Structure 1
Amino acid sequence: MEFKVIRPAHPLVHAVLVDHDRHLDAYLDDDAARRIGGLWTLAASSPRSLIHLPMRANQAPSLELPEDGTRQLDLVLLHHSLQFAPARWKEVRRRLGPGRPKTVTLPDSGHTGEAVIDHEARHYLENRDLFHQHLHAETLFMTGSANVFRETARQFHDVAQNGPGYVPIHPSYPHFCTELHSNDGILGNAREIHIEYCDQWDS
């Protein structure tokens, strides 16, 4: 089976994905959140592609992370129909070259709104629009349907748009954040991901 690997042309410098065993934390600035939202949308329309987001070597944000947050991960997004075996990833990654620049046009992030999402249907037993995760070679694989990628891309755009101007109204909520949460009916064999805006970076 043929597939292609898509990576951002410029590194996602201020983006970190941390494995906490029971859940995952993503720390992003507005640029990284906006670009990941675009790549999330691209995963919905590119069923023959692996969307690779190299992040595991990035400098962590200059804030106090939980003590168990010691392992940083790369991220790969893929459509479930691709049936890619994560065990193959280390070899595929090793063989990746510089690639060829290519420009893609993505739908306006505002077109993915609450009105087009059937939240009740997400909780039906027949729901197949779910994320599944695998962890291999320091990489988190997020596998899902076109619908679930398309519907959840807005959460990254929310972080990009609302994070920089966020004014805390309660000490318990000092940062703008959102989650890919089990209560949302989008996680199958997958852990929750806490997505937090962060503007405190050492580089």
Structure 2
Amino acid sequence: MRLRLRQFRLRTGPHEHRVVQPGQPLRHTSLRAPEPIGTLLGDHDGLNRLAGLFSFAAYSRHTIVHVPLRDSVPPDEGVGELVDLVLAHHTLGLRPSRWPALRRNLVGGTPLTVRTDEARTDRDSTSWRERHERTDGRGDLRHATHARTFFLFGNRDVFASAAMSLALAAGWGPRQKGVVKGHSAFMTALPTLVQPPGGGHPLELLVCFKPYPPYAHFRRPGRRGERRSAPS
């Protein structure tokens, strides 16, 4: 996949941080952090580009991936505060408390175009899934919510697994019943989130497909005799 991004180089004291954002906003994608159930709701474009961003994050362990989602078009379903998304390798040592200061300096930036390798992402995703049950939770997605931002910390393989889950949701979401009427469709959940001690309801981040209105412009793929109306 070809991704158009914005790149920022920020310095705090002796440390330089590389941050990337999507070149264009994901207008019809929204995120609510798990409390204990969170939802990532998006159309085909949003979920597909998120799959690419997770794949990019998997192989960019010195880069922070910031996906601004708070200002997307508000969905007409769901409850809870809308939040941004940040992806970072756990080895980077990013502290959520330091993020607001970094975010304030995300101004301008330079264009960046990258390509992701879907075959490599698929291989690493498969490897993670095969190992997961034997590793006692090592490699799960650690997470935190701070300053209206949901942080996911992981490694190459777990980010690759999340990328493949999102690619599946983007590809098969348009084929689900009810989506032509604007209903959302549950597709999958992101790979296992680290659970808090003490039990209770497990934390989950559900991935749902939802086309954007007006729904008359949306057609499920593969139906003969139908053409998608041009957007107004």
Same-fold call, TM cutoff 0.5: yes
Q: State whether residues 29 and 40 of structure 2, in contact with CA within 8 Å, keep that contact through their aligned partners in structure 1.
A: yes
Aligned to 2:19: 5
Aligned to 1:91: 101
Residues 1-203 of structure 1: pairs in structure 2 closer than 5 A: 1-19=15-33, 21-62=35-76, 64-65=77-78, 69-108=79-118, 112=122, 116-117=126-127, 119-167=129-177, 175-180=185-190, 186-189=192-195, 191-201=203-213
Question: Partners of 2:115 and 2:184 in 1: how far apart?
Answer: 35
Higher-strand-fraction structure = 2
Alignment-mate amino acid for residue 211 of structure 2? D
Question: Partners of 2:106 and 2:184 in 1: how far apart?
Answer: 40
TM-score norm. by structure 2 comes to: 0.74
Q: State whether residues 33 and 145 of structure 2, in contact with CA within 8 Å, keep that contact through their aligned partners in structure 1.
A: no
Structural RMSD (CA)? 2.5
Question: Partners of 1:188 and 1:20 in 2: how far apart?
Answer: 12
Between 1:75-84 and 1:125-134, the stretch displaced more is 125-134
Instruction: Using the aligned pairs only, state the percent identity.
Output: 29
Question: Partners of 1:109 and 1:176 in 2: how far apart?
Answer: 25
Gaps of 5+ in 1: none
TM-score norm. by structure 1 comes to: 0.84
* Secondary structure, counterpart of 2:16 in structure 1: coil
Gaps of 5+ in 2: 1-14, 197-202, 215-231
Q: State whether residues 113 and 154 of structure 1, in contact with CA within 8 Å, keep that contact through their aligned partners in structure 2.
A: no
Q: State whether residues 43 and 209 of structure 2, in contact with CA within 8 Å, keep that contact through their aligned partners in structure 1.
A: yes
Instruction: Give the aligned length.
Output: 191
Deviation of residue 20 (structure 1)? Answer: 5.2
Larger radius of gyration: 2
Question: Partners of 1:77 and 1:115 in 2: how far apart?
Answer: 17
* Cα 1:102/1:192, change in 2 over 3 Å: same
* Secondary structure, counterpart of 2:111 in structure 1: coil
Deviation of residue 128 (structure 1)? Answer: 2.3
* Cα 1:109/1:139, change in 2 over 3 Å: farther
* Secondary structure, counterpart of 2:19 in structure 1: strand
Alignment-mate amino acid for residue 141 of structure 1? F
Q: State whether residues 2 and 48 of structure 1, in contact with CA within 8 Å, keep that contact through their aligned partners in structure 2.
A: no
Q: C-alpha deviations, 1:41-71, integer Å up to 9, x for none?
A: 0111111111000001222223x32xxx130
* Cα 1:154/1:22, change in 2 over 3 Å: same
